[in-house]
Amino acid sequence: MIVIKQINFRIPMEMDSQIEELSEKFGLSRSEIIRQALTLYFKIIGDLDKLTNIRELSKEEIQITQENIRDVHFINLDSFNISIVISNSSSGGIGPKIHDQVSVDGEVVGSIIARTALIKMLSISAEPTTVLLNFSNEMEETGRNIIQGVNTECKKIGINNVVVGHSEENIKTCQTGVSITAIGLLETNQLIQPEIKKGDKVFCIGHPSVGEDILNMKLPQIEDIKLLQKNKSIKKIIPVGHPGIKKEINNHLSNTELTIQWKNTDIDLNLSAGPTSAVIAITKPKLKQKQIEKRSRIPITEIGKVK
């Protein structure tokens, strides 16, 4: 049983306006906004203190920059070589509601959407610490089932802090809608990854699929990404979303003169990979497919090489 204690404190007027804005935006009370903000703060500072002494921080010393890499956002605390990493995902029309286009249990929806957001973060070697969840449906029973699926994925990497924000309790809904945000930490120098060069190989892990097809496919799991990260011959891991494999790689190489020589395979390079139903691995030239298969439980296909 959680014991609630009332406290009073003073805050700047600007912060008070921000709390009010968030309260109106998400339909939460001011107290709930403050409670969730403190929950996130304590979690982030707790992990931050493992890497630097929080008592040494001062407002004047902190230098902050921000950047996006694909759809992952970084808030870089440059003075301390720490980045707060934010990734997200959403789902609509998939679930147990009467007008959902893909009919599936809410727990499955939660599991799939959680692994999508977490894989984005794990693929860049960040450490997820907190997950935030919002629904466009009622908490009972749709929300509860989705939370179960999210918790299943979070427990795989030791995340116990799942913050549930807004649910729709005023309007009866006929389709499932959910959004998820993952927050984590990364030592900023880990953003510097090995340079991609001519001759590097390109592998597809999993198989691009979308809609009902994903229910019958072996999807890349959190465990698969963690195992791939341990292979020093893998230079880059790129989760594939709705743009498809070809666009994802072309976007990644857009600032270089490199291109891909594609192999003739049964992989559809243009098909949406939905909720990360496929992951790209760019590797050193000498790495063989069998060496990757030892660390994966899902289909792997060599689809090209860098030229």
Tokens of 260: 């891909």
Task: Provide the sign of the torsion angle of the four alpha carbons 14, 18, 20, 21, taken in this order.
Answer: positive
Q: Per mean pLDDT, which range of 9-13, 92-96, 216-220 is the poorest?
A: 9-13
Q: Where does CATH 3.90.650.10 sit in the chain?
A: 201-306
Q: What is the pLDDT averaged over residues 57-64?
A: 62
3-state helix, strand, coil in the chain (%, to 5): 35, 25, 40
- For domain 63-191, the CATH class is alpha beta
Q: What Rg do the C-alpha atoms of the chain give, in angstroms?
A: 21
Tokens of 229: 């990260």
Q: Where does CATH 3.30.1330.10 sit in the chain?
A: 63-191
Q: What is the pTM of this model?
A: 0.81
What does the pLDDT look like over 114-128, one tens digit per residue?
Answer: 999 999 999 999 999
The answer regarding whether domain 201-306 maps to CATH 3.90.650.10 reads: yes
Strands (E), 101-241: 102-103, 127-135, 162-164, 177-187, 201-206, 234-240
pLDDT at position 46: 62
